Amino acid sequence: MNYILALKRLLVLIGPLSKSSTALAAFSQSDEGQYLLNFNSIQAASYAVADENLPLDMDVCKSNHNPPTREVTLQVSNGIADSATVAGQCGNDSTCIIPLGTTLQVDTSLNLGALIVRGTVQWNDDTQVNPSAFICAGYVAVEGQGKWDMDLQVKDAYIYIKDNGAVHHHLRARAFGSYASTATDYPTIDINGRELVRTWSLLSHPIRSGDNKMSLMHDAHLMGW
């Protein structure tokens, strides 16, 4: 199973529905037990749909299911690294560590075994060269004094958490998050994007098993979705 944080101009789409998606089941508020019983299959189906709607160049993220076999601490002379520098030292077979004092400026896509950030990741419209870019890894963990600073207003960006067996000692497998091991640690994740008029809506009609569309109480276009 692959987890995808798709940042479409930083509009967060986790497991987005495609036009051809079909509801396999429906649950009401009173069906909590049944929902939890079927949670794994529901989750698998939702992320399978997301996998089908990714840019073609992200197929490389789906092909490697082997856990990383080596750990690499990024080494740079001036404290600044671009994606090519990372790719030259790390790969999809490695857990890549961005150390304290080092800043990764994401300009192109990266395919890694796993990523640990103890320094800084900067990813924005200025650093990114192409209209679309991605980072895929078995997990992304921001540790210690690490910072994940992401702000895209125009370009598209994807964080793809792949199912390659990589396991973080605290966040575990297929995770994107922060971890503080001491009281003085202060890892931060800051993700900003295009402002939305509304970030949520409600169903105007129930979804039933077999349905392939949903009706919202608010207009998706007017909300900026």
H, E, C per residue of 156-181: EEEEEECCCCCEECCCEECCEEEECC
Task: Look at residue 120 and tell me whether its pLDDT is greater than 90.
Answer: yes
pLDDT value at residue 105:
98
* CB-CB contact of 205 with 217 (8 Å): no
Candidates 110, 113, 169, 181; CA nearest to 143 is 181
Tens digit of each residue's pLDDT (9 = 90 or more) over 44-74: 666 555 667 788 889 888 877 789 999 999 9
pLDDT value at residue 37:
86
Task: Look at residue 8 and tell me whether its pLDDT is greater than 60.
Answer: no
pLDDT value at residue 103:
98
Q: What is the arrangement of strands in the sheet containing 132-137, beginning at the earlier edge strand?
A: 11-13, 3-8, 156-161, 132-137, 110-111
Tens digit of each residue's pLDDT (9 = 90 or more) over 61-116: 887 778 999 999 999 999 999 999 999 999 999 999 999 999 999 999 999 999 99
At 143 the three-state DSSP class reads: strand
Cα–Cα distance between 70 and 84 in angstroms, integer? 19
At 119 the three-state DSSP class reads: coil
CA distances from 178 to 77, 126, 142, 185 (A): 26, 25, 4, 10
pLDDT exceeding 90 applies to what percent of the chain? 55
* CB-CB contact of 159 with 7 (8 Å): yes
Please give the mean pLDDT across all residues of the chain: 85
Cα dihedral 169/190/218/8 (nearest 10): -80
> Quick count: other Cβ atoms within 10 Å of Cβ 205?
11
Cα–Cα distance between 66 and 91 in angstroms, integer? 12
pLDDT value at residue 63:
76
In 56-210, which residue ranges form alpha helices assigned H by DSSP? 60-63, 83-89
